[in-house]
Amino acid sequence: MPWTFFGIELASRALQSMQMAMNTTGHNLANINTPGYSRQRVNLATTEPLLLEGVMTLFMGSGVRVESIQRIRDMFLDGRVANTSSQYHRLNTLYQRLTQVEDVFSEPTDAGLSRQIIGFFNAFQELSANPENVGVRASVYQQVEGVTRTFRQLAGRLDEIFAEMEQRVQATAGEINSIAQSIADLNVKIRYNKALGTTPNDLLDKRTSLIEKLSEYVEVRTTELSDGTVRLSLGEFVLVEAERANPLPDEADYINKMFTNGADVRAYIGGGSVRGLMDAMEYVRTYRDRLDRLAKELIDSVNAVHQSGYGLDGNTGYRLLEGSDALSIRVSDDVLDINHIAAGVTPAPGDGNKALEIARLRQQPVANLDNKTIPDFYSALVAELGEHTRAASTGQENQKIILQSLQAEREAVSGVNMDEEMSNLLRYQRSYQAAAQLISIMDAAIADMLAAFAGRR
């Protein structure tokens, strides 16, 4: 009786295959809300047919088997999502930081430096008309104090923002190293399972999610190797190679947009939030340098005029301002007595020509300020900040739309559809029931056959 139990074996394989298909469908449904999960599909195939030889040669089917459990994933689409995400986070980070800088400048408001500079020159204009008025002199002193204080506050806040971004870059580098190590650990597990001939779908999903998380920080080039591991690179720097994760160099060079050890190791940062921070740091340093230039020229040009003028005490040579940059600018101790504020070209009563000369400095181009006047140089700085912010805003909005489109496209490919999975579950259930019924029928047939043989004896 070589074929006695063939039907039961065939039905048993069908039961096992349908059971695995139902389990896989259940796994899909259980992870329908799991971030980064890719739906899995059971690929069924016929088993090897059996050769029947007799009056004629025939091949008889032997049933079904599970050929593989496939992870439904488009690797090229994953790469596009990662690259787009990297650029989105770069521009979004840059936009957020520049918005923070705009809040510091507070333009155009009464608290902004622009109004303070205008008020400074207007105060000397009024002093030129009333050089002996104590109230006007007190107003001039307060205006000078206000503009110098605003310079210091702006410089201090920009320095704080720069230092915070510097710290954040270093903290993010630690997070990148941690993610890289996790990917390297997953490489080891995936390579082991690949060597056994299995496909560790869930581990692959986890690794893909980590790579996408890494792409939010830095733009990485991903190379999948034949053993199932991946190589991740930042320019020429290899961040992950199989089971080895190489930590980023310690020094962050925001000018050249890289991490370096100061020698021959350089990890170029082409995208992600770290690149956004480095771009913002460069902008902030530029704004800060221009603020220093403006403060220095204000100090030098005003003092050059003021020291040649006369105060109410009939003396000359007093400095109005002290310091060398935006952080150190302040009212000179020479004019703590407001009678020392110079207003006249001569000590003659009622002479306000020197104050008028200071007021007219607002209209004089300065070579060290790109041949702009003091107010125009500051206005150009604020306008450039606004342009940088608008460009970052537009860029991040465009990248967000592209990213959402790609994510929706990927969801259509890899996402779990509940209606589809429930339909599959019902289909596999019916097949399972049919296989179970086949076993019952085969069992009854075998019982009848055995009874018939027993009766013949």
| pLDDT at residue 261 greater than cutoff 50 | yes
> Is residue 274 one of the residues assigned to a domain?
yes
> Is residue 409 one of the residues assigned to a domain?
no
Mean pLDDT of the chain: 92
Phi-psi region of 447 (alpha: psi -120 to 50; beta: other; left: phi over 0): alpha
Kindly indicate the confidence band of residue 264, based on its pLDDT and cuts at 50, 70 and 90.
confident
Contact between 84 and 402 (Cβ < 8 Å): yes
| pLDDT at residue 146 greater than cutoff 60 | yes
Residue 336's CB: how many other CB atoms inside 10 A?
A: 9
Q: Based on the domain organization, do 186 and 152 belong to the same domain?
A: yes
> Is residue 306 one of the residues assigned to a domain?
yes
Query: Residue 145 corresponds to which tokens in the numbers above?
Result: 């104090």
Q: Based on the domain organization, do 62 and 99 belong to the same domain?
A: no
Q: Based on the domain organization, do 68 and 89 belong to the same domain?
A: no
Roughly what angle, to the nearest 10 degrees, separates helices 374-414 and 75-105?
150
Query: What pLDDT, on a 0 to 100 scale, did the predictor assign at position 445?
Result: 78
Q: Based on the domain organization, do 93 and 239 belong to the same domain?
A: yes
| pLDDT at residue 67 greater than cutoff 50 | yes
Q: Based on the domain organization, do 424 and 343 belong to the same domain?
A: no
Kindly indicate the confidence band of residue 56, based on its pLDDT and cuts at 50, 70 and 90.
low
Q: State which of 400, 426, 444 marks the end of a domain.
A: 400
pLDDT in tens, 375-397: 999 999 999 999 999 999 999 99
Contact between 127 and 138 (Cβ < 8 Å): no
329: which residues sit within 8 A by CB, 6+ positions away?
148, 151, 152, 295, 298, 299, 321, 322, 323
Q: Based on the domain organization, do 18 and 161 belong to the same domain?
A: no
- Rounded to an integer, the average pLDDT of 237-242 is 94
Query: What pLDDT, on a 0 to 100 scale, did the predictor assign at position 454?
Result: 72
> Is residue 405 one of the residues assigned to a domain?
no
Q: Based on the domain organization, do 421 and 310 belong to the same domain?
A: no
Q: Based on the domain organization, do 33 and 165 belong to the same domain?
A: no
Kindly indicate the confidence band of residue 4, based on its pLDDT and cuts at 50, 70 and 90.
low
Query: Residue 86 corresponds to which tokens in the numbers above?
Result: 């990297």
What is the phi/psi pair of residue 353, to 5°?
A: -65, -30
Q: State which of 400, 432, 447 marks the end of a domain.
A: 400
Query: What pLDDT, on a 0 to 100 scale, did the predictor assign at position 168?
Result: 96
Contact between 35 and 407 (Cβ < 8 Å): no
> Is residue 1 one of the residues assigned to a domain?
no
Please tell me whether residue 53 adopts helix, strand or coil conformation: coil
Q: Based on the domain organization, do 369 and 433 belong to the same domain?
A: no
Percent of the chain whose predicted confidence (pLDDT) is above 70: 97
Query: Residue 91 corresponds to which tokens in the numbers above?
Result: 């521009």
Q: What's the one-letter identity of residue 50?
A: L
Beta bridge partners of 240: 232, 245
Total domains, the chain: 2
| pLDDT at residue 8 greater than cutoff 90 | no
What DSSP line would sit under 248-294, residue for residue?
Answer: PPSEEETTTTEEE-SSS-EEE--SHHHHHHHHHHHHHHHHHHHHHHH
> Is residue 408 one of the residues assigned to a domain?
no
> Is residue 136 one of the residues assigned to a domain?
yes
| pLDDT at residue 189 greater than cutoff 60 | yes
Query: What pLDDT, on a 0 to 100 scale, did the predictor assign at position 54?
Result: 63
448: which residues sit within 8 A by CB, 6+ positions away?
none
Q: State which of 374, 400, 426 marks the end of a domain.
A: 400
Please report, for residues 45, 266, 409, 457, the alpha-carbon distance to residue 420 in angstroms, rounded to integers and kept in the order given.
21, 49, 17, 56
Q: Based on the domain organization, do 255 and 391 belong to the same domain?
A: yes
Query: Residue 268 corresponds to which tokens in the numbers above?
Result: 């170029």
| pLDDT at residue 3 greater than cutoff 60 | no
Range name among 157-161, 178-182, 335-339, 441-445 with the lowest pLDDT average: 441-445
Query: Residue 433 corresponds to which tokens in the numbers above?
Result: 């029931």
Q: Based on the domain organization, do 311 and 356 belong to the same domain?
A: yes
> Is residue 230 one of the residues assigned to a domain?
yes
Q: Which helix (H) or strand (E) holds 221?
A: strand 221-224
Query: What pLDDT, on a 0 to 100 scale, did the predictor assign at position 1?
Result: 39
Domain hosting 361: range is 81-400
Q: Based on the domain organization, do 96 and 43 belong to the same domain?
A: no
Comparing 22 with 450, the larger pLDDT belongs to: 22
pLDDT in tens, 192-214: 999 988 889 999 999 999 999 99
